[in-house]
Chain A
């Protein structure tokens, strides 16, 4: 048993750490956040130059061949800086799905472009009526000439407003909620039949409602057989979100601790009051739990499917539960300052809470865990 990072992982951590420290101060982030795009293309190019866009891909495409722990290291660093760029959408969710399903020529074209920073993607999987259920797919695809056309609606597609291409999950067989019959497609975002309503999310990111009306699409992999690959990509996404939350929770705790050491009331720093000390301790305890579960999730992706699923559900559920406590307490201990847009901690709180609304919230994952209660952990 060894919790230390390997030399390569530590280098990755340092790279991301330096980038966030030097390139991502709060005012710079604010400028990017309030721009029309909602993030910085220059920063995206820096990601490419540093090799970050290739972390989960093979060396053939200029990648790093990383797994759960590598993505964890990157995402935790991004969480510390509240990074706005579409890394989760492009690399973790869409990129790994293309990598798993695509033909050699599709990968050659698309993965290379992702790694080089020339292509940004969004995963259009969830639907307006489906909440967090990725098998709830009413969007359909049918053959048309050499390719397919897709019709349907996709909900809160992260970075769907600015993506060059969309990876769309559509049904080629079966009924909504069937696991079989799901296929993955690449759709050009500018194609006819694609309409997007983009918007900002409360935590400063961007997303879109997407309507597809006979939009031309290119199939990835085998028809009707995307579910396993999709779930693997979503699992990686969960690891990345857990890690991002952990990074953000760490900073929220640090800012709060600094604040209660400085803020004076009744002639003393408010951190002298035991009521606040204990709340601060509880925040740190939640952070430790979140970190533990992120490590557990990141290191469990290769295990048997039920054990992996159980651990990921538990991890994301803890992130939802602990994240809420940390976010709320960070605001509370900052008092009125915690309510202000100009205070960084409010932005951390918003991102931490919104992470619970991505790829399944506390209730959803507890339900998953309840279904897996009989899975024996020691079988791992």
Chain B
């Protein structure tokens, strides 16, 4: 038993650090660290840099251009990226639709879709949730009816993250209305330029436009855009949900955030003393610190088990719950660190070009928007309650 990195793993970490030192654009890292808006262009610029290095597709097999990294290497990479303020790679193309294509797609589909994903030339979004199908995803109603060499799609998707930028959407649609819930669903790729598609912004409680509604009105989709067999789309969906997600615990993000929180708490003054010396605040910091140590070790145990050949299945549900609760807790402490200055809402200051005066301490402008934005963590990707249901069923046999 040895919980330390091997010399090879340490050498890999040095390689990652050298790469980030050299290649991560300073303006992008500065936006991430200062919680300013990242544009579509920023994300694409960074992802293309990753692709040049051959590091875009962590989870793909090497024959399709994946890195071939071990789970521990992936963990190291994600942690270092978070520490350096690299933008999170958008998962919808590279980590969601691509693994499904690699597993279930035809050769033609792989050739057509994978290279532009690798080079971030095509922006994908996810069409799963519907107004009436959230946790009960299989209750989805958007229907696709086969007419000759096309499907005609009608219905509505919602919570479509960054759909306003997307070129393509991968959708779960109902192709057999008479089959049992899970059995009449198909996995369909749809060009967002197709006539009949309308994207409407949804503004979230932090004032941001991150998610959208997507309406389908007699949208004609060629049958060759079907992935896998008709009515077997639930298999693709399940595969995607259990697909290896080393980063689900968000250890890197939490470590970087806690480090920043401590810096802030050393600067902010309360009764003539740094906030970090306030007994109550310090106690909560200590609590987050020890919970983060426990999360990191639990994550590493899962990662190491994956390395040894065990497939992280429902165990990742533990990590999702623990990791999201901790990230949310840290945003709560940031809000408290700002004190009364948690209140001003000045969205214009999130723009990197903003050169006007700030209100209150610099860090305070984003604490409340972030706190409210991060409530999403325990809701999306299978709410934390759904994760508990999964553990109860899959691990505990209840």
Contacts and interface: CB of A to CB of B under 8 A. Distances in A.
A joins B in a complex = yes
Interface of A: 1-6, 9, 69, 257, 260-261, 271-272, 274, 277-278, 280-282, 284-285, 288-289, 291-293, 295-296, 298-299, 311, 314, 317-318, 366, 369-370, 373-374, 377, 380
Contacts of B291: 289, 318
Top 10 A-B pairs, shortest CB-CB distance:
A292-B297, A277-B392, A314-B290, A289-B294, A369-B286, A281-B388, A292-B298, A271-B398, A299-B3, A370-B286
Contact of A318 (B9, B290, B304): B290
A277 B388 contact: yes
A293 B293 contact: yes
Contact of A370 (B282, B308, B385, B389): B282
B75 to A, nearest CB: 9
Contacts of A4: 1, 308
Given A271-B398, A370-B286, A284 B3 contact: no
Contacts of A298: 1
A314 B72 CA distance: 24
Chain B interface residue number, banded? 35 or more
A278 B398 CA distance: 10
Contacts of B294: 289, 292-293, 314, 318
Given A274-B389, A281-B396, A369 B290 contact: yes
Contacts of A296: 3, 293, 297
Contacts, number: 116
14 contacts: A1-B2, A9-B1, A260-B398, A272-B398, A284-B391, A289-B294, A293-B290, A295-B1, A296-B3, A314-B289, A314-B290, A318-B290, A369-B286, A380-B4
Contacts of B185: none
A282 B262 CA distance: 29
Interface of B: 1-6, 9, 72, 262, 276, 282-283, 285-287, 289-291, 293-295, 297-298, 300-301, 304-305, 308, 318, 321-322, 385, 388-389, 391-392, 395-398
Given A1-B3, A299-B2, A280 B285 contact: no
A284 B393 CA distance: 13
B257 to A, nearest CB: 15
A373 B392 CA distance: 36
Give the secondary structure class of B's interface: helix
A288 B283 contact: no
A280 B300 CA distance: 23
A130 to B, nearest CB: 22
A3 B286 contact: no
A311 B304 CA distance: 20
Nearest to A279: B388
A366 B282 CA distance: 10
Nearest to B4: A1
Nearest to B397: A261
Contacts of B276: 373
Given A1-B5, A296-B3, A280 B289 contact: no
Contacts of B398: 257, 260-261, 271-272, 277, 280
Nearest to B266: A374
B3 A366 contact: no
A281 B392 contact: yes
A295 B322 contact: no
A6 B1 contact: yes
A2 B2 contact: yes
A284 B283 CA distance: 25
A59 to B, nearest CB: 21
Contacts of A281: 388, 391-392, 396
A277 B146 CA distance: 42
Contacts of A271: 396, 398
Given A274-B392, A318-B293, 19 more contacts: A1-B2, A1-B9, A3-B305, A69-B1, A261-B397, A261-B398, A272-B398, A278-B385, A281-B392, A284-B318, A284-B391, A289-B295, A293-B293, A296-B293, A366-B287, A369-B286, A370-B282, A373-B286, A380-B4
Nearest to A290: B294
A285 B1 contact: no
B1 A5 contact: yes
A2 B307 CA distance: 10
Contacts of B293: 293, 296, 311, 314, 318, 377
A6 B286 CA distance: 33
A293 B322 CA distance: 14
Given A271-B398, A272-B398, A285-B322, A1 B6 contact: yes
A285 B2 contact: no
Most chain B CB neighbours (cut-off 10 Å) among A3, A299, A380: A3
Nearest to A280: B396
B2 A284 contact: no
A210 B132 CA distance: 69
A295 B298 CA distance: 10
B286 A288 contact: no
A278 B392 contact: yes
A284 B6 CA distance: 30
Contact of A289 (B282, B298, B397): B298
A311 to B, nearest CB: 7
Most chain B CB neighbours (cut-off 10 Å) among A288, A293, A374, A377: A288
Most chain A CB neighbours (cut-off 10 Å) among B2, B294, B388, B391: B294
Nearest to B265: A373
Most chain A CB neighbours (cut-off 10 Å) among B276, B282, B392: B392
Contacts of B385: 278
A262 to B, nearest CB: 12
Most chain B CB neighbours (cut-off 10 Å) among A1, A3, A317: A1
Contacts of A369: 286, 289-290
A3 B304 contact: yes
B84 to A, nearest CB: 14
Contacts of A288: 298, 318
B174 to A, nearest CB: 27
A277 B394 CA distance: 12
A318 B294 CA distance: 8
